[in-house]
Amino acid sequence: MSRRRLLGTAGAAGATGLVLGAAGGATGYAATRDEAPAALTSVGSTEVMFHGKHQPGITTPLQARGHLIAFDLAPGAGRKEAAALMRRWSATAERLMTGEPVTGGSADGTGHDTGIALDAGPSSLTVTFGFGATFFERTGLKGHRPPGLDPLPPFSADHLDAGRSNGDLWVQIGADDALVAFHALRAVQKEAAATATVRWQMDGFNRTPGATAKPMTARNLMGQIDGTGNPKPDDSDFDKRLFVAAGAGDAAYDWLAGGSYAVVRRIRMLLDDWEKLPVERQERVIGRRKADGAPLSGGTETTEMDLDRAGPDGKLLIPDNAHARISSPERNSGAAMLRRPFSYHDGIASDGGPDAGLLFICWQADPLRGFVPVQRKLDRGDALSPFLRHEASGLFAVPGGAAQGEYVGQRLLES
C-alpha cells in the first residue's frame, strides 16, 4: 500500500483502532510496545491544508507540540534574498504538511531530508510565517509596513529580554507529534542557511488530542481552563475581528488582505507562589471555578459571566480585580482576540523556581484594538499579575494564505 493511500485510509481505521486499544487492555498495550509496527492512528493521519485564504496555524485546533522561532536577515540580505527564502520555506512547509519528506537541494547544501519524521503521518502539522517591523526596513519596503506594526506600548509588568523579543521574520510550527514538529523546525532552520540567522527560539506543548474522555478547552500550567472566551468561528464578526479585510485602508497594505497580526509573549508563571494559594483563592483571582471553568456567577463553562451578580454578603461573586472580569470584551469595548498559546517548561530558573509558563500567542485584525487595550487594563489592576512575569514580546504581521502556485508573502515581496 502506498504512503498516500495509507494516510487516506487511516482516518477511517483510526477510530476503530482506538476503540480496540481501549477494550484490549494489556493486549492493546503490548501491541503498541512490541517491535511489530502498528497502523497509523487518526491523530497521525490528520492533514491541514497549506494553501487557502488564510495561513494555517491560526484557526487550526491547538496542537500538542509547538516551536516558535524568530530570525533576523543576515548582513547584506535584502528583498531579493528574502523572497527566495520565503519561496523555499513555503515549498518546504507545503510538502511537510502532507507528511512527505523534503526532497531536492537544500539551501545549506545537504540536499537530503533529515529522516526525523519518515515513519509518521502529517500529524496536523502547520507552519505559519510572519514579518516583524524591522523586516520592512531591511528589505526596502518601509512604505508597505502597515500601521498595525507600530511598536506595542510599554507595560508596567514587563521585564522584557530584548534578545528574545521581536525579529525580522517569525515562524510558528505546530503538530500533534513532537518528532514531526522538530522535523519541520530543522527544515526551516536549514533552509534559512546564509539568508537569515536565528534570533530566538521557544518550545511549547499542549495536551495531546485524545488524552481526555471528551473534547474540552485546554488547561494551562496553573491548572486553569484557558481559552473559554475565545471568539468562535460561527460568530457573525469572527473574520472581522481576526483577519485584515481586502481593500481596508491604503493600497500599500493590500498584501496583508486575509492576514492577521500575532502578538507573542513569553509569560513566566510563578508557580511556587500560585500553588500555595487555596483553590478558593485561586478561583477568585481568575473569576472562574477551577474544576470546570464555569464563572463564579454560576452556570457552566460556556455560561456568560454575570458581572453584576452579588452573593448573600452583598459582595460581587466575580471580584472587581478578577482576571476574567478585567479581560472580558464587555469591559473592553468589545475588544477581542483569538488566544492560541502553548505552555512551556525550561527547567529551573535562577531563583530556584520552575522556569515555566505560557507562550501566549493572540491573533487579531488590529493589535491596537485587540491586545493593547486589554493588556493596559490588566496591567493596572489584574489580581493575576503578581503571579506572572512578562519576559519577552513580539509583534508580527502575518500575510494571508498563499494561493496555488504562490509562496507566502509574494504579494508583498513582488509588489
Catalytic center residues: 226
Q: How far apart are CA 125 and CA 289, in angstroms?
A: 33
Query: Could you give the CA distance from residue 221 to residue 344 in angstroms, rounded to a whole number?
Result: 9
CA–CA dist 30, 338 (Å, integer): 41
List all residues 6 or more positions away from 376 whose beta carbon is below 8 Å from its beta carbon.
153, 155
SS3 97: coil
Whether 71 contacts 169, CB under 8 Å: yes
Instruction: For 180-200, give the DSSP string.
Output: HHHHHHHHHHHHHTTTEEEEE
Going by their DSSP bridges, the two strands 388-398 and 342-348 should be labelled as unpaired
What is the spatial distance between Cα 381 and Cα 250, in angstroms, rounded to a whole number?
A: 37
* Neighbour tally for 81: CB within 10 Å: 17
Q: What is the separation of C-alpha 415 from the centre of its chain, rounded to a whole number of angstroms?
A: 29
Element holding 69 (H helix, E strand):
strand 65-73
Looking at the DSSP bridge assignments, the partners of residue 316 are 310
Beta bridge partners of 225: 219
**CA angle in degrees (0–180, nearest 5) for 162-256-343:** 45
- 231 — phi, psi (to 5°)? -55, 145
Cα–Cα dist 299/289, whole Å: 10
138 within 8 A of 78, measured Cβ to Cβ: yes
The angle at the Cα of 318, spanning 316 to 323, to the nearest 5 degrees, equals 140
Residue located via cell numbers 531579493: 80
Contact 362, 340 (CB under 8 A): yes
Q: Which residues contact 37 (CB under 8 A, 6 or more apart)?
A: none
